[in-house]
A and B are shown apart, each in its own frame.
Chain A
Amino acid sequence: MSHDNISDDKLPEAHDASEGHGHLAVADDPFADPGLPAHEPRRTDIDERAAKRAERQVSGMFILSMLATVGFIASYASINPDKLVYIFPLGHVSALNFALGMTLAVALFCIGAGAVHWARTLMSDVEMPAERHPIEADDEVRADVIQQFKTGAAESGFGRRKMIRNTLIGSMAMVPLSGVVLLRDLGPLPEKKLDSTDWSEATPSAPIRLVNMNTDEPMKAEDIVVGSLTFAKPGPSALRPNGLQDSDEDFQEAIAKDALMLIRIQPEDLKDEKSAALGFEGVLCYSKICTHVGCPISLYEQQTHHALCPCHQSTFDLSDGARVIFGPAGHPLPQLKISTDSDGYLVATQDFTVPVGPSFWERSA
């Protein structure tokens, strides 16, 4: 690993310190450095009228900036935030936003343009060299510092008193642990939280109805037409007497796992018997949450029975147990076993048999 086996003669010659700036070209070396070119004056350097013009231009820009700031304040005070204006080719935009933005832009831009113009036309543009010094210290300084450090280290006794040294290192290594431990209350432990959904409340004796996401009504199998995609959520249960409602405190967490999609497929199109058996008269009920990283699935192609997740395009064949046929998802969508209650409404009598949503280490199925 050492660099020592690289001899310096493998590298091109380092520049000679004497070479460079200010030297006349060496007659027999056409490639030698001729030194800094002479300064060429600008128009404004020699023509006082041009200089005066540049001065007026710079001030003009600063004045324009002042006017624009006045315009900004006036727009702020006078334009109604709701007002829309038509501006070609942008279409209808907020008048206030446009006026404030443009006046602010002019106010800022003109200061910048003025300053740059000033620097370019009126300030000196003579290039000059400044020397660089090596970043590395010379050997003398280096030796001195190392000696001083050694003295300091010896005086501390750090190397000699091994017990102090080792216990100091130990205590320094341990002390950040308190910080890590303090983070523990950021959240609960995972336990089984990812494994079950609200549908686990459903039992054969206390089934939960599937409720239409849009109408809040329970559904019958005949409500689901072939080729349509219907979204559903849990109806009333012992835990939630009104079913899952937007106003529930934990609505977001619940719907992130409970959301369902229902489709109806002609029995002859069903390719997977086990999946068909979980449905009811061709109505199949799958988790709406993609098994990739958890986006809700929303696109359904009725001819092919393919459902597509818009996030990373995982595609599931709903007629074949929601098998993944394309994209980055690693396993099928969980299916919910459905049946009907005595009134003929679709119900669930048990939870999904596998966890919904993205995979995780403890997931066993």
Chain B
Amino acid sequence: MSSSTSTKQTAPASTRAKPANKGEAAADWVDGRLGIYSLAKANLRKIFPDHWSFMLGEICLYTFVIIILTGVYLTLFFKPSMGEVVYNGSYAPLNGIRMSEAYESTLNISFEVRGGLLIRQIHHWAAIVFVAAMFVHMMRVFFTGAFRKPREINWVFGFLLLCLGFFDGFMGYSLPDDLLSGTGIRFMEGAVLAVPLVGTYIQMFLFGGPFPGTDVIPRFFTIHVLLIPGIMLGLLVAHLILVFYHKHTQWAGPGKTEQNVVGMPLMPVYMAKAGGFFFLVFGIIAAMSAIASVNPVWAYGPYRPDQVSTDAQPDWYMGFAEGLIRVMPGWEIRAWGHTLNLGVFIPLMLFPLVLALIALYPFIEGWITGDKREHHILDRPRNAPVRTGLGAAWIALYLVLLLGGGNDLVATHFHLSLNDITYFVRAGSFVIPIIVFYVTKRWCLGLQRRDRDKVLHGRETGVIKRLPHGEFIEIHAQLPQGRLHTLTSHEQPEPLELPAEVDENGVARKVGLLTKTRAKLSAGYFGEGGQIPKPTVEEHQEITSGHGHH
């Protein structure tokens, strides 16, 4: 403790005016430590555009919060242990049966802990809604082109969140150690074993010995509640920071440009709406959990590797992987004392590959268009027919494989042959996405044509007029200027042209394969069949200025 005061320098005293009330005084105190005023200056009245589809991302966020809240509650009662016990509790049908502590504690949560069943159901329902909402949110971003510069990185963050969501859902589903979840773990073991060279090692390290061992539930528990949610939380925060930083995208419309964002301020409207929406989502999920039972583990019984329940199926979001594994022919290569299990390994590789294509899409499209500008105005899906077609084809592939993943259910519900469904899915996963792509693209072009007609000829009023010479016509009304602007403000890039074969000096120019591919793709996107030319001012004036205009 120094007592020397001779050269003591005091920091400049705050020159701030006296706060008007207690609230301001408290805010001043915090600001002196955390600098909240500067932070709030930019954000308190930050503008958010309004559109129902922008809520999809919010649903993801809120269900994630609900999952964490209910998950913490469940960890207070759940025992992640494969220690064996004989059940003796309030669910009579299982009395006297041997089971793991994990399964027993799940039963106790469901039957003995008051409200435990509700929280378990909310946790599971919220997880289902979470993955579904991420999926739809991602599609919204995809079809509107919101992933374009500067948002590519945020697209990748979102994609990672979706993958981790899939994975954590699968892990959570496995924890109760019931007959169905054990079957899922067995599936995982088989898939791991199919990995060449290191499969058996990974299996032993994952399970702590031969299947099923006693380590897998405690390990999955740590991964499910700590590792993956931790990573997801980090990604989520980064995702939101970027949304804030980039500012939200908006739809085209009067007064909306690439340089502004039009909407209502965070405080108070958006805070009230978004904050309120959290409670709406939570309330609806609570009601669903009160009404509809999901994953009634007590009906399946404890896991035993020599037993199985019928309808052995994962949650729907794993249906894609399940479909791949079900419709794959059982190819196995045996040579030099080794077995390569392609029947399992190929689906195992295809699953991430198909997902990765989606993750890379912004970069692929950016490369094809060569467009390096920022985009904040959303594309209407019809104005990007190839992209919309690709997205629809991807969804079609997903649905076909989902059908394959539930082939037994489809067979029993619709009295079809299981084998026929499988053959259909095998062919369909190649053919159907292609058909869907073409149909969607044509559909978009049709809609573009309709927009063009609307701009040039106005909207149909439903009023029929008879002309003096007897002809009936429908009166068309000119669109207001705001509509005209909205319908014509989208961009129509021209396809990339290859440089001439010979340059101006007559020397043959080398055009790389990559450049050629890119020109081809670009022609596919923006060439003749790729878009309907939007009406020009001259066309519009010619029609509106007299002849031919009704």
Q: Which residues of A contact B (CB under 8 A)?
A: 1, 3, 5-6, 10-12, 14-15, 17, 19-22, 25, 28-37, 76, 81-82, 90, 93-94, 96-102, 104-116, 118-120, 123-132, 134-136, 183-184, 186-190, 193-194, 213, 231, 233, 246-247, 252-253, 255-257, 259, 288-289, 292-296, 298, 310-314, 324, 326-331, 357-365
Given A183-B205, A313-B326, A364-B337, verify A114-B276 contact (CB < 8 Å). yes
Contact in complex: B260, A131 (CB < 8 Å): yes
Contact in complex: B204, A193 (CB < 8 Å): yes
Pick from A15, A130, A360: contact of B46, CB below 8 A.
A130
Which of B353-361, B438-446, B494-502 lies on the face that meets chain A? B494-502
Which of B159-167, B222-230, B327-335, B465-473 lies on the face that meets chain A? B327-335
Given A115-B276, A329-B330, A359-B341, verify A293-B255 contact (CB < 8 Å). no
Chain A's closest residue to B112 (CB) is: A81
Q: Does B207 contact A (CB under 8 A)?
A: yes
Q: Which residues of A contact B330 (CB under 8 A)?
A: 292, 314, 324, 327-331
Q: Does B193 contact A (CB under 8 A)?
A: yes
Give min CB distance, B544 to chain A, whole Å.
7
Q: Once the chains are docked, how many angstroms separate the CA of A120 from the CA of B50? A: 12
Contact in complex: A253, B209 (CB < 8 Å): yes
Q: Could you give 16 example pairs across A and B, Cβ below 8 Å?
A: A30-B540, A32-B485, A82-B90, A97-B121, A123-B269, A183-B205, A194-B200, A233-B306, A292-B190, A294-B305, A298-B307, A312-B326, A313-B407, A326-B422, A358-B189, A364-B338
Q: Which of B328, B334, B370 is packed against the most chain A CB atoms within 10 Å?
A: B370
Report B143-195 residues with CB < 8 Å from chain A CB: 150, 183, 186-187, 189-191, 193-195
Q: Which of B111, B272, B282, B330 is packed against the most chain A CB atoms within 10 Å?
A: B330
Q: Once the chains are docked, how many angstroms separate the CA of A19 from the CA of B256? A: 10
Q: Once the chains are docked, how many angstroms separate the CA of A62 from the CA of B328? A: 55
Q: Once the chains are docked, how many angstroms separate the CA of A102 from the CA of B372? A: 52
Q: Which residues of B contact A123 (CB under 8 A)?
A: 268-269, 272
* Closest 7 pairs between A and B when the two form their complex, measured CB to CB: A101-B290, A293-B190, A109-B283, A115-B276, A112-B279, A36-B255, A330-B332
Q: Does B514 contact A (CB under 8 A)?
A: yes
Contact in complex: A116, B273 (CB < 8 Å): yes
Q: Once the chains are docked, how many angstroms separate the CA of A257 from the CA of B307? A: 12
Report B384-438 residues with CB < 8 Å from chain A CB: 407-408, 418-419, 422
Q: Which residues of B contact A31 (CB under 8 A)?
A: 455, 481, 484-485, 488-489, 537, 540
Chain B's closest residue to A131 (CB) is: B260
Q: Which residues of A contact B340 (CB under 8 A)?
A: 361
Pick from A35, A97, A231: contact of B290, CB below 8 A.
A97
Pick from B111, B259, B312: contact of A295, CB below 8 A.
B312
Q: Once the chains are docked, how many angstroms separate the CA of A5 from the CA of B111? A: 68
Given A112-B279, A359-B332, A359-B341, verify A231-B306 contact (CB < 8 Å). yes
Q: Which residues of B contact A188 (CB under 8 A)?
A: 204, 208-209
Q: Which residues of A contact B270 (CB under 8 A)?
A: 119
Q: Which residues of B contact A187 (CB under 8 A)?
A: 204-209, 215
Contact in complex: B257, A21 (CB < 8 Å): yes
Q: Does B246 contact A (CB under 8 A)?
A: yes
Q: Which residues of A contact B258 (CB under 8 A)?
A: 14-15, 132
Q: A25-B481, A194-B210 are in contact. List 5 more A-B contacts (CB 8 A).
A: A36-B254, A108-B282, A119-B273, A359-B344, A362-B339
Q: Does B71 contact A (CB under 8 A)?
A: no
Give min CB distance, B540 to chain A, whole Å.
5
Report B88-111 residues with CB < 8 Å from chain A CB: 90, 98, 111
Contact in complex: A112, B281 (CB < 8 Å): yes
Contact in complex: A10, B255 (CB < 8 Å): no
Give min CB distance, A347 to chain B, whole Å.
20
Total A-B Cβ pairs within 8 A: 392
Contact in complex: A359, B259 (CB < 8 Å): no
Contact in complex: B332, A331 (CB < 8 Å): yes
Q: Does B460 contact A (CB under 8 A)?
A: no
Q: Which residues of A contact B328 (CB under 8 A)?
A: 328
Q: Once the chains are docked, how many angstroms separate the CA of A127 from the CA of B407? A: 50
Pick from A81, A101, A109, A357: contact of B280, CB below 8 A.
A109
Give min CB distance, A329 to chain B, whole Å.
5
Given A15-B258, A37-B255, verify A119-B269 contact (CB < 8 Å). yes
Q: Once the chains are docked, how many angstroms separate the CA of A328 from the CA of B209? A: 26
Q: Which residues of A contact B378 (CB under 8 A)?
A: none
Contact in complex: A101, B114 (CB < 8 Å): no
Contact with A along B479-494 (1 / 0, CB 8 A): 0011011001101111
Contact in complex: A32, B481 (CB < 8 Å): yes
Chain A's closest residue to B48 (CB) is: A130
Q: Does B196 contact A (CB under 8 A)?
A: yes
Chain A's closest residue to B534 (CB) is: A31
Q: Which residues of B contact A295 (CB under 8 A)?
A: 183, 186-187, 308, 312
Pick from A125, A136, A310, A358: contact of B194, CB below 8 A.
A358
Contact in complex: A362, B338 (CB < 8 Å): yes
Chain A's closest residue to B344 (CB) is: A293
Contact in complex: A256, B280 (CB < 8 Å): no
Report B241-273 residues with CB < 8 Å from chain A CB: 245-247, 254-265, 268-270, 272-273
Given A10-B497, A123-B272, A292-B190, verify A252-B304 contact (CB < 8 Å). yes
Give min CB distance, B300 to chain A, whole Å.
13
Q: Which residues of A contact B373 (CB under 8 A)?
A: 11, 14
Pick from A90, A115, A256, A314: contact of B291, CB below 8 A.
A90
Contact in complex: B259, A130 (CB < 8 Å): no
Pick from A34, A189, A233, A294: contact of B186, CB below 8 A.
A294
Q: Which of A76, A81, A289, A298 is packed against the most chain B CB atoms within 10 Å?
A: A81
Given A36-B262, A293-B186, A296-B308, verify A130-B210 contact (CB < 8 Å). no
Q: Which of B111, B122, B211, B337 is packed against the most chain A CB atoms within 10 Å?
A: B211
Chain A's closest residue to B407 (CB) is: A313
Pick from A22, A194, A296, A330: contact of B343, CB below 8 A.
A330
Given A183-B205, A330-B330, verify A20-B287 contact (CB < 8 Å). no
Contact in complex: A81, B186 (CB < 8 Å): no
Q: Does B212 contact A (CB under 8 A)?
A: yes
Q: Which residues of B contact A12 (CB under 8 A)?
A: 491-493
Pick from A15, A128, A247: contact of B259, CB below 8 A.
A15
Q: Does B374 contact A (CB under 8 A)?
A: yes
Q: Which residues of A contact B208 (CB under 8 A)?
A: 186-188
Q: Once the chains are docked, how many angstroms separate the CA of A365 from the CA of B326? A: 24
Q: Which residues of A contact B278 (CB under 8 A)?
A: 112
